[in-house]
């Protein structure tokens, strides 16, 4: 699931996703004071645009150049509020302590022995900032998905919660029914959600 994989996946259709912001982001971030946000794995940009329109300054990062170009074309009116950035966050960490919100919505973060990519994401949350992670409930998925994809090889919100130390307060850690229909061809009926605040 490298850059080539995602470029090809996005290139197969004019629009891969609905264009609507993710329900978990809308429900959990609506009450947050706007600041600097990192949208990790931003795809075609619906979440980043939702945040920008609510007053956030957004760094929107994805590994797919195809997705980023598509997102930028749809957001000309918000060019001063969203920075579309191509990067592999598993290899290149974002700036430490830079973001009041780090949003990771259904991003396949592969588990690493040293957890370098995950530690980089956690470190990028500023003191007082929020980490928001949403994933698909694994009970909705077969053990091995398309192209040999093994869900167990990737971090779930519960895995990420285990890496939060004493500097964090977990506000939400739960499984809930999706608020929007599952993407075409999938069977996702429930989300797993982690919302945590970095205290210092």
Average pLDDT, the chain: 88
For residue 24, give Cα distances in angstroms to 55, 90, 95, 134, 151.
18, 23, 24, 7, 20
Listed residue (113, 112, 200, 111) closest to 164, CA to CA: 200
**Residue 80 counted as domain residue:** yes
**Residue 93 counted as domain residue:** yes
What are the tokens at 159? 């895995």
Please determine, for residue 144, whether its predicted confidence score (pLDDT) is greater than 60: no
**Residue 116 counted as domain residue:** yes
CATH assignment of the domain containing 154: 3.40.50.150
Residues 28-50: pLDDT tens digits?
Answer: 999 999 999 999 999 999 999 99
Domain of residue 194, residue span:
3-12+22-198
Q: Which residues contact 144 (CB under 8 A, 6 or more apart)?
A: 150
What are the tokens at 170? 């977990």
Q: What is the mean pLDDT of residues 149-178?
A: 92
**Residue 125 counted as domain residue:** yes
pLDDT at 139: 73
CA distance 15 to 171: 34
Residues 79-114: pLDDT tens digits?
Answer: 899 999 999 998 899 999 999 999 999 988 899 999
**Residue 17 counted as domain residue:** no
Any idea what the Cα angle at residue 140 is, between residues 45 and 191, rounded to 5°?
45
**Residue 32 counted as domain residue:** yes
The number of domains in the chain is 1
pTM attached to this predicted model? 0.87
For residue 187, give Cα distances in angstroms to 1, 22, 38, 91, 138.
20, 16, 28, 30, 11
**Residue 90 counted as domain residue:** yes
CA distance 180 to 195: 19
pLDDT band at 150 (very low <50, low <70, confident <90, very high): confident
CB atoms within 10 A of CB 17: 16
């Amino acid at each position: 699931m490298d850059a080539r994989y995602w470029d090809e996946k996005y290139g197969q259709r004019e629009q891969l996703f609905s264009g609507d912001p993710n329900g978990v982001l809308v429900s959990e971030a609506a009450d947050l004071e706007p600041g600097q946000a990192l949208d990790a794995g931003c795809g075609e940009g619906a979440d980043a645009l939702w945040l920008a329109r609510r007053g956030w300054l957004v760094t929107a990062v994805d590994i797919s150049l195809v997705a980023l170009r598509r997102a930028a074309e749809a957001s000309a009116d918000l060019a001063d509020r969203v920075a579309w950035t191509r990067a592999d966050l598993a290899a290149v960490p974002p700036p430490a302590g830079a973001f009041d919100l780090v949003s990771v919505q259904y991003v396949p973060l592969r588990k690493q022995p040293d957890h370098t990519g995950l530690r980089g994401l956690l470190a990028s949350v500023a003191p007082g900032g929020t980490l928001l992670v949403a994933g698909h409930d694994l009970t909705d998925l077969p053990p091995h998905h398309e192209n040999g994809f093994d869900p167990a090889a990737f971090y779930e919100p519960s895995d990420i919660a285990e890496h939060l130390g004493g500097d964090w307060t977990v506000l939400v850690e739960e499984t809930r029914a999706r608020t929007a229909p599952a993407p075409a061809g999938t069977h996702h009926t429930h989300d797993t959600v982690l919302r945590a605040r970095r205290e210092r």
